Structure 1
């Protein structure tokens, strides 16, 4: 035991420094995977690494400062590992973070002043550690240490400034000064050129829109170009690039690396690190242990390799290509475009934004269609909650964890959303008196739902979701085309309920989710009976009695109307949503609702342009019925 303790004491500082560096490498590569990865394990690992990286670096600085007061006895850190104090500036570099991730959540950007205070405190601590160790180094590491301090302070300050730039509160001041990189002219002949060129020009205004600012002048100038922009795939790719660039501005150092002064400081940081490395190589290292020297080389060389990879990421940025094109550096621009277009094609195949949509079914909440593990877990939790007197909201929390899932967004859903938005704009701009969309099959159901006087948008979603799920169960063996329609209807229905359960802040709801679901469950219980499928039979009876479910005919026309019904609900919710909620959701991969919201913004559809859309009644507010989604002029 004593041998293990002695071994740990001897290697503790090495392990701490190497662990700090390892976390930085993980954050660099995992940060770039974060937007397109929905794996829970990866997200949790990234969260622990993001929090642990700062903790390990600060703890190591504190460990070194504690060793400074240990002046007695041999075998201490000052005697055996004198080079360890040279690693203090490297910890400042680690605290500066990586280019691919600076903020884990949107709230981190709003707390940039706290990070500025941390910067001051940690620089003072590292300076104290290094200054106290100068006498032991006989000044031979003073010069390289000073150069590393310059590099570390610049990197740490760069991260703090990136958080400040990422705060939506600072959007107005940043965009008012304009962007130093002028994007190239729009190009209609080459789709990728046109996509990237338009995305670069629209990026500052898209950021304004996420911050809730007025962008009507920009959209008025470019709406015709957007309307005739290439093919459907090109328009979808444009929105994905725009959202991807917005993610980079909010959660990485992308915006910092587009500023001239920041690039100058970045070059100064790298030159300082390189000078420190050269001075360390030529210094006399005979008095230091081989392990200490090896760790120092790992920190130097590993840091240079990470910076080289970061440079490759910058080269593949659309802003780099735009900067080179605007300065007539055509050869370099062509090289940059080769890498950029290759990256765009990869992202296009991966369906980057959004790459998945959540799914949640009301039947899971009432106890149907659950896995054995989910049923047993919920039973155990209900028993525990009853014993301790916990509220029913615990049931919803556990149900969200166990029953929510994600599925890949297929091309059909994306096309449905894009085409429906286009059709809506044509419908709004049509002054020839063309009739509005009719609902011949769903008209009785919508009238019954209107008569229920549901006072919350969440209740409308729950009732229509239950109706959709029960109706889709009548299609036992549909042909190919109808089978695809059934899948789209179920995915859209489950997605809207998923948003209500997991992200109600993105929807125009007024009541709590727990109250909404419990109200529906209480109604089902009134119509239910005993038996295994009592809740399903109760749901069917409830919908037949209240909404005339039994008169809906199962055919292709009905499925198309159900699909359009959910698309209209999706676009209504998108038009009522706020930009800051979409910005916050980009941290976990983005939502289909964000894609629809940005597409509507490009076409001037939604609440920011009340004169151009009437998805609801004349007031445009949440009324006592569903007329705000399906007004009478849309029915037969």
Structure 2
């Protein structure tokens, strides 16, 4: 067979299967998105995120491309008979699955563009439909219910995008903020502090809720507050006093669980069609499902009477498209029925029958399967500057991950119960220093701003012997303090291991906490600097890395297990004279020397030293959390959520946020 014959064969196959393949590809992308689109909610998996991103971008393009081909081919007698309902099926695909309407927050701001696309694609689909009319498609009527389903589904997606856009979201939250104010504003601060548990439960409308579901309704109350904060509005004293009283009675694990549910609610509102169970949504879901079932029945009956209308391939693909659409709708309904939103609605009825249904659902294995790890993985990524720089020279291969710019994560650590307890107790202690009952009527004496500005200086202020460490947390650029403490923490750890004879297992709990928080904060600086206070963090990190390379041999001696004297003048002088102007290496080495000297003072030791270091790191974590915008925190929801965002929400619900409005009503 010659080249011309091969070319003609390929062209014939392409013309015959081009439309069929893109139709099947469009269906596959919809199935992939509904199965994996929701995984971003609770996992920070790199490949899952990239594959969902690729599928999300491809789905609309493939559906639009297919619709264009259909508009050209359908009704053309030379092309064979193509089912008329394929065009509105693509309109359904453009509506997208319930589990992902927006990949990022920027997609919500483009709702007007999607509205224009909706109108244009409906016109194209209608044009294809009319071409089928001219072609006398015997099953033309099958397209009508699918056309209705497509308009509903795509229109619903556009409405969700519009609702999550900044301007529309802020407008909708005003009424919710007023409702919250009216619910709590009748109480003075002193009344809240003296309120009994029974009265508080009654006032926040939690009475009659079964014990097993109380956390869902508390999370919903917190979520109402979160919505207001996310819209950059302020809340009165009484509202965050209520959430503070609820939180202070919780264990650390319970408090973090509340935040996880609350962040799940926000993720659903910003990035999916899954939200509060409403009558309109139930009607939409039922209508779409009935449209597809009726279309399937009509097609099956029509094929039995007109079995020569379409080719076998067209019939097979048609059945796949219809059955696929029905399965997707059933799966969407199941997800909604077993979601936190549905459980919230069910137990909110406060009726024995509904409560029994909730208990039955919760005890079923099916629910456990659907809700497996659905909230937060409780992990934090790790990046150690010195070890990363030392290992880079040893890399001989370039991975795809590195090419995509995501090779900075060296490992992940579990945010365990001990760390959660340590962070939560620190926040409670910080809250006791901001006592609303003791606040002066003079707004200038309100010390909340001062408390939120602490980076570790409060830790050093407790003892006179630590005053000479204040310089390390008072750099104008927060990132310099972060890097200096990161380097010092790493050096202190290796020095302690050397002192212990090279046994890295003999470390205190506070040592592990310090190292994990230190590596986590530097990971944020490298990969997500927008989550940290403004500064020249990237440039400072880059020059610090260069300084580490310049002094690699000296640093090897510092962090090796061989005997070494901290006061070797050659080392300190060489590092101090570094030409890297914004490098934090010298500050880190200087700080490490002071910390190690501190551990040998009278009344001190490694355990006490590492306790101080861990407290400084928690202070830095809380400082960064409170100085990051809510929009930036919301962006982290698409990769499973960050520990930093959880801490920020805990602080806000404890009243440790400058968006918590203070008043002079202290009666």
How does the TM-score come out when normalised to structure 2?
0.78
User: Alignment partner for residue 258 of structure 1, among 244, 269, 277?
Assistant: 277
Q: Equivalent of 2:223, from 179, 183, 203?
A: 203
Distance 2:487 2:465 in 1: 16
Report the CA distance shift for 1:369/1:440 in structure 2 as closer, same or farther (over 3 A).
farther
Of 267, 273, 276, 2:295 maps to: 276
Change (3 A) 1:399 1:30: closer
* Corresponding position of 1:486: 511
* Structure 1 match to 2:431: 425
What is the distance in 1 between the residues matched to 2:630 and 2:555? Answer: 45
Please tell me whether residue 467 in structure 1 is matched to residue 488 in structure 2: yes
Does 1:285 pair with 2:298?
A: no
Aligned-residue offset at 1:212: 1.8
Conserved in 2, the CA contact under 8 Å of 1:243 and 1:353?
Answer: no
Match of 1:382 in 2: none
2:428 aligned with 1:407? no
Range with greater deviation from structure 2 (182-191 or 95-104): 182-191
Provide Cα deviations, 1:506-560, integer angstroms capped at 9, x if missing partner.
Answer: 22222x223212454576688x485783796659876454663441316111111
Following TM superposition, by how much is the alpha carbon of 1:340 offset from its aligned partner in structure 2, in angstroms?
5.0
Higher relative contact order (CA 8 A, sep 6+): 2
Closer, same or farther: CA 41–400 of 1 in aligned 2, 3 Å: closer
Of 142, 163, 166, 1:165 maps to 163
Give the count of matched residue pairs.
Answer: 580
Segment of structure 1 superposing worse, 565-574 or 318-327: 318-327
**Contact 2:111 2:158 survives alignment (8 Å):** yes
Counterpart CA distance in 1 for 2:229 and 2:521 is: 23
Measure, in 1, the Cα distance between the counterparts of 2:241 and 2:284: 37
Structure 2 partner of 1:358:
381
Write the distance in 2 (CA, Å) between the matches of 1:518 and 1:610: 40
Partner of 1:578: 629
Mapped to 2, the partners of 1:188 and 1:204 lie a distance apart of 20
Aligned to 2:154: 156
Residue 315 in structure 1 maps to residue 337 in structure 2: yes
8 Å Cα contact 1:57-1:94 kept in structure 2 = yes
Retained in 1: the 8 A contact 2:478–2:533? yes
Q: Which residue of 2 aligns with 1:598?
A: 649
Q: Aligned match of 1:567 in 599, 615, 618?
A: 618
- When residues 451 and 315 of structure 1 are mapped into structure 2, their CA distance, relative to the original with a 3 A threshold, is closer
3-state SS, counterpart of residue 99 of structure 1 = coil
Question: Structure 1-normalised TM-score?
Answer: 0.81
Corresponding position of 1:607: 658
User: Could you give the per-residue CA deviations for residues 139-197 of structure 1, whole angstroms, max 9, x where no partner exists?
Assistant: x33322111100111001111111112224322332345599x9994269965322011
User: In the aligned structure 2, how far is the partner of 1:532 from the partner of 1:506?
Assistant: 30
Inter-partner Cα distance in structure 1 for 2:363 and 2:157: 29
How many angstroms does 1:350 deviate by?
Answer: 3.9
Displacement of 1:113 after TM fit?
A: 0.9
Secondary structure in structure 2 of the residue aligned to 1:604: coil
Unmatched runs of 5 consecutive residues or more in structure 2: 1-5, 184-201, 440-456, 560-570, 576-583, 600-604
Matches within 5 A, 1:63-142: 63-68=69-74, 76-77=78-79, 79=80, 81-83=81-83, 85-138=84-137, 140-142=138-140
Determine the structure 1 residue equivalent to 2:532.
507
Instruction: Give the unaligned 5+ runs of structure 1.
Output: 379-395, 613-636
Alpha carbon RMSD of aligned pairs, Å? Answer: 3.7
Pairwise mapping of residues 435-454 of structure 1 onto structure 2 (< 5 A)? Answer: 438-439=459-460, 447-448=468-469, 450=471, 454=475
Q: CA deviation at 1:344?
A: 8.6
SS at match of 1:372: coil
1:458 equivalent in alignment to 2:479: yes
Measured after TM superposition, the shift of residue 583 of structure 1 is: 0.7
Question: Residue 445 of structure 1 contacts residue 548 of structure 1 at CA under 8 Å; is this kept in 2?
Answer: no
Deviation at 1:10, TM superposition (A): 2.0
What does the per-residue CA deviation read over 1:551-570, in whole Å, with 9 as the maximum and x for residues that have no partner?
13161111111111100111
CA distance in 2, matches of 1:116, 1:218: 41
